[in-house]
Structure 1
Amino acid sequence: MKIAIVEDNLRHQETLLRYLKAYASEQQLELSIDCYNDGIEIVNQYKSNYDVIYLDVEMDVMNGMEAAERIRKMDDAVLLVFITNYVQWAIAGYSVGATDFLLKPLTYFNFLEHFKKVMKKFSVQSDKALAVKIGSGIRKILLNDLLYIESEGHYLHFHLITETFSILESMKNMEARLKEDGFFRSHNYYLVNLKYVESIDKNWLKIKGEQLQISRPRKKAFLEALTNYIGEDTFV
């Protein structure tokens, strides 16, 4: 789990860092933790590479709420936690999908109760994720939500369980990035999440009731990949 602490008070920053390390040691959990002294620092170099971000609400250059709003535009999956002296900030935090709030001064007992909530939320989102560039930002896609990718010209259409969106990217690059994650080409135009293949009928496969073509040159390799993925010979 990769965590960022954004806190301009070094004493509070060190307290949270100590609590995180103590919890990691007790639970034999591997944590990678980075510290920032102001919201502008993390926003200016954000690459959608954190699982949890702790944000002090009040900072000199960019406060935690503004930093959260900017981060949320680039990353809709990261867990955001506000650190504050005032309970009323909790209401404002809902607008950016905050996971929780920590009130100062921090105590280890309160931190433990909070971090159990974070771990539970993180376990739901623990599927591998794919970060793709969208405009000037980055979007993180949980692979468990991705049904298939469709190529059309220079664009890729990402078909998720709940929506579809498009980016400018090559299928070759995306295939290379996902080759170890249960995705396989059934056709020049389709990169399929093998987890969601419901059936095979001749040169067609079905995903969530939608039919996608299997090209003849790719059929044998695709069926072998599917067989290996499910661990049985149902489709061969």
Structure 2
Amino acid sequence: MRIIIADDEPLLRHHLGKLLEDISPDLQIVASVGDGAQALEQVTSLQPDVVFLDIRMPGLDGLQVASELNKLDLQTNIVFVTAYDDHAIEAFEEGAIDYLVKPIDESRLLKTIRRLENAQHRSMPNEDLITLIRQNQTQHLEPLTWIKVAKGEDIHIIHVDEVMLFKAEDKYVTVVTKDAEYIIRTPLRLLCRQLCGNTFWQIHRSVIVRISAISRVSKDELGKMFVETTMGRARLPVSRSAQSLFKQM
């Protein structure tokens, strides 16, 4: 099986390549690229059996690359690999054979390879996969207690009680405690479903803050609302839809 990996993070490309090599020596990586334009060029030129596409890449994103590839008469299967599950439905609408969420688990990747090997016998049409994804996205999630976070090359495990706020920044979410900052890949939308609404509030599309960490709320001369925290960080914006959280009782 000839494979192209497209992801804008070199370490993740290396990690995925190593996992594929460990699964089988018959999996040949013919190209590894860092943006959508290169992915489209290499897939068109090399016509691999499968391309692993990151969704969020500079220039053309993975969904746009898939859309362009679908216009061509190629036999290349598409697998999306991303830190977010928001685009799962769009991925299958673009003809993806599978959808992997980072960090990639080797056993889950093995299932993807088995699915690719039997692609001509796909047991579930995309319409049914889309329905299944919608059901999974609305199902109840267990409350968040322990969080695996990254700092440099190290992985730490912290209790949710230590967290003061979560802030989405590009592809990552920064987890802020009283003493340090860490990185995770879980999107805020998913975190909201796992955090107690009596403990945390989402005050902006990019910010979830612990209620007890809020010291005061203020407005600027334009009427925009901001939260100041007990940690003395820069003011955090409050979206218009979240301002009702701070109405006087």
Scaled to the shorter chain, the TM-score interval is: 0.3 to 0.5
TM-score, length basis structure 1 = 0.47
